[in-house]
Amino acid sequence: MVYMFLANGFEEIEALCPLDLLRRAGVEVTTIGVGAETLCGAHGIKVAADIPEIMYRDSSPEMVILPGGMPGAENLDNSRIVDAAIRSAHKNGGYLCAICAAPMVLGKRGLLREKRAVCFPGFEEYLEGATVSESETVVRDGKIITAKGMGAAFEFGLALIEALKGKDTAERVKASVFAK
């Protein structure tokens, strides 16, 4: 199963754009509310999560997605449930995906060591042991996918689709969005 964790202060576009693209690709994604079922994004947009974090039970998630935004990324970082999901996905070969400030959550746990990654400028110090790319907006290194920020949300979403469903599906979804 694929899970996207939302916490108060999340960056709306970094969450909703990839979520929309994944669902267009036929990927079943469950959104999980950290601290509440209805969350308020960094720009005042309220979003109802599919389930509250206390209902999360998967011991082997296929993919965990962390949108950035502040204080959303800090709230994700402080969640025991998010920590457990990240660790179980990593242990069992699932994908760990984070955008903007959220790669710090992975970096602070040492999960980016010897990996290439990107993040929102100013958060590089938290990407412990990573090789931070200066030229890319989205980086996939094995089972880790990171993105720079809101402007990369579409590309990030396509990278998630490609990881789960292949390049052809990602291209089909991209083409459908720009269809005339």
Q: Does residue 7 sit within a domain?
A: yes
Instruction: Give pTM, 2 decimals.
Output: 0.97
CATH number at residue 138: 3.40.50.880
Residue 132 lies in a domain: yes
User: What is the structure's pLDDT at 178?
Assistant: 87
The 10 Å Cβ neighbour count of residue 36 is 14
- Decide if 180 is inside a domain: no
pLDDT at 180 (0 to 100): 61
What is residue 20's predicted lDDT score, i.e. its pLDDT?
98
Hey, what amino acid is at 147?
A
In a domain, 76, yes or no: yes
Residues 6+ apart with CB under 8 A from 4: 15, 18, 19, 29, 30, 31, 32, 65, 66, 67
pLDDT one-digit tens code per residue, 32-62: 999 999 999 999 999 999 999 999 998 899 9
In a domain, 179, yes or no: no
In the chain, how many domains are there? Answer: 1
- Catalytic positions, written as ranges: 100
- To 5 degrees, how large is the angle CA 38–CA 47–CA 28? 105
112 located within any domain: yes
Is residue 133 within 8 Å of residue 116, measured between CB atoms? yes
Strand 29-34's sheet: what is its strand order?
Answer: 51-52, 29-34, 2-7, 63-66, 95-99, 144-147, 138-141
Count the Cβ atoms, other than its own, within 10 Å of residue 91. Answer: 10
101 within domain boundaries: yes
User: At which residue do the structure tokens 């179980």 appear?
Assistant: 88
Domain range spanning residue 74? 2-174
Burial 110-142 (b: 16+ CB within 10 A, else e): ebbeebbbbbbeebbebbeebebbeebbbbbee
Residue 28 lies in a domain: yes
The per-residue pLDDT of the chain, averaged, comes to 97
Helix boundaries (H) for the chain: 12-24, 72-77, 80-91, 103-107, 153-165, 167-177
Q: Each residue of 11-20: pLDDT tens digit?
A: 999 999 999 9
Share of the chain above pLDDT 70, in %: 99
